[in-house]
Amino acid sequence: MKELKFYVMTDPHFYETSLGASGPEYDDFMRYEQKCYAETESINRSVAEYLKGADEADIILIVGDLSFNGEKESHRSFVKLLKEIEESGKKVYVVTADHDCQEHPFAFGEKGRYEPEGTPRDELFDIYYEFGFKDAIAVDRQHLSYVAQLGEGVRLLALNNDGADDGRRRFDEKHCQWIREQIRKAKEDGQMMIAMNHYPLLPLQPLFSIISSTVQKEPMNAIELLADEGVNLVFTGHMHCQSINEVTTKKGNKLYDVCTGSIIADPAYIRLVTVKDENTVDIKSIPTPDFEWDTDGRSCKQYLTDMFNNMILNILYDMKYDTERMMRKFHIEDKKALRPVIYLIGCLLNSITLGGFSRLFWIKCHKSIRKIKVMDFAAELVRGAFVGNQQMKEGTPEGDVLLAFLKRINPVLKRINLKNVYGERVDLFELLKHTAGNYGTDDYNAVLTLR
């Protein structure tokens, strides 16, 4: 096989801005939003211009959530943009996901929130036919999946899991049979096969392992299906995270899950992937380019970072000052007993510094961080889980104070019986430690050994 290079981007969430994105209701919605909304068209166009002129590779993989929320006009405009990219000499391959087939999307017009025309799932095949399906070696139309020849010796298994027979976000038996057949056919033809699947198969950070919505349903079934049949590398999106994780199945086969951050939210990156041979893949991360927008004097990168931080800070602020609103946002407004608990935690987070917090729990705190507010520390902790290469590791002032706190409360943590998405009991201390600090593979640039 020849060395092959391609770009990977995820979650463009293209929104046709003529549908409307302004007004009081829009501003209220954006208080708790990580990703851009009104800015998405501008960001997508800047990325398209970059890719059209990029000479490292002429193949682009786009891993799902192509539209903001399934607006028909957004799909139409995004397809036009993809055609512009292909006219520059590139080849684009896409998969769709749940945000692309919402039949009742919403937008914000002059009179507030309203419902534009949506997109039924059964229309997505025709809408994106030219970007993968048209030239595919094999197609599973029910599951909107296909196989494409990317280059000499390398095939792409493009997977969508929104078409399961029971409506769950998984690979049903019919889909599994098709996947198995395609992998085996690739082997017979002497082809290396890689995959892209919108939903992660591995928890992107240890904390996410106890939140089922962060990964595909029945993830271990999918992992074993792919890895044990011979697919060792899958590119994912969905969580807007920058991460690289690996797992080894019971049969001793390795699977890497390379998740890339959304281009319209911090962290905003695309990947340049080099398949050197059947065993070696080089991953490099490229920041998305600047885009045309009034950023109030900030760099585009800082603009996206501030949006992420503001989302977290708004949630923490509302825990104290608008508890009901915060509970409505997370659909727990019916759990009345939680209100005073959330309020008290909110009061603590909004008023105390790390120095005061450390005195409260009788732990050491380096003088350089004593004046940092706990809510700012918490916001950076959460953001780090999405940005990747988390900095709060043992040996840093921030990491040491967090680990000291976790050790102090570890007797309580050990009494909490939580299981991860694989049904295994978790060690909360280790889970939180490795979520705060990255002790493993670099989430941005790495050379992966597949076998």
Instruction: Tell me: do 42 and 91 sit in the same domain.
Output: yes
Domain assignment present for residue 447? The answer is: no
Instruction: Tell me: do 358 and 258 sit in the same domain.
Output: no
pLDDT for residue 330 is more than 90: no
Q: Name the average pLDDT for the chain.
A: 95
pLDDT for residue 240 is more than 90: yes
Q: Which of 388, 365, 372 is nearest to 436 (CA)?
A: 388
**Mean per-residue pLDDT, 347-370:** 94
For position 227, which CATH number holds? Answer: 3.60.21.10
Least confident of 187-196, 247-256, 308-317: 308-317
Least confident of 133-147, 254-268, 330-344: 330-344
| C-alpha Rg value of the chain to the nearest Å | 22
SS3 for 193? strand
Beta carbons within 8 Å of 33's beta carbon, 6+ residues apart: 307, 311
pLDDT for residue 300 is more than 90: yes
Domain assignment present for residue 446? The answer is: no
Write down the pLDDT at residue 164.
81
**Mean per-residue pLDDT, 27-52:** 95
Domain assignment present for residue 445? The answer is: no
Instruction: Tell me: do 256 and 316 sit in the same domain.
Output: no
Domain count, the chain: 2
Please report which confidence band the pLDDT of residue 1 belongs to, taking 50, 70 and 90 as the band edges: confident
Least confident of 4-8, 269-273, 338-342: 338-342
Instruction: Tell me: do 86 and 211 sit in the same domain.
Output: yes
* Last residue of one domain, picked from the residues 292, 314, 347: 292
Sign of CA dihedral 219, 246, 13, 81: negative
Domain assignment present for residue 67? The answer is: yes
Beta carbons within 8 Å of 294's beta carbon, 6+ residues apart: none
Domain assignment present for residue 449? The answer is: no
Strands 233-236 and 254-259: parallel
Instruction: Tell me: do 314 and 275 sit in the same domain.
Output: no
Instruction: Tell me: do 164 and 194 sit in the same domain.
Output: yes
Instruction: Tell me: do 374 and 244 sit in the same domain.
Output: no
Domain assignment present for residue 318? The answer is: yes
pLDDT tens per residue across span 156-174: 999 999 888 787 889 999 9
The whole domain housing 311 covers 300-436
Cβ-contact 65, 13 below 8 angstroms: yes
Instruction: Tell me: do 283 and 410 sit in the same domain.
Output: no
* Last residue of one domain, picked from the residues 292, 310, 335: 292
Instruction: Tell me: do 148 and 76 sit in the same domain.
Output: yes
Instruction: Tell me: do 251 and 319 sit in the same domain.
Output: no
Write down the pLDDT at residue 345.
87
The pair of structure tokens assigned to 348 is: 């603590």
Q: Give the long-range contacts of residues 409-415, CB within 8 A, separation 24 or more.
A: 409/361
* Last residue of one domain, picked from the residues 261, 292, 323: 292
**Mean per-residue pLDDT, 248-260:** 97
Least confident of 45-54, 153-162, 360-369, 415-424: 415-424
Count of other CB atoms within 10 angstroms of residue 348? 16
Residue with the larger pLDDT of the pair 28 and 5: 5
Please report which confidence band the pLDDT of residue 102 belongs to, taking 50, 70 and 90 as the band edges: confident
Instruction: Tell me: do 308 and 279 sit in the same domain.
Output: no
Domain assignment present for residue 256? The answer is: yes
State how far the alpha carbon of 100 is from the alpha carbons of 15, 91, 128, 214, 220, in Å: 11, 21, 11, 18, 25
Instruction: Tell me: do 116 and 187 sit in the same domain.
Output: yes
Write down the pLDDT at residue 234.
98
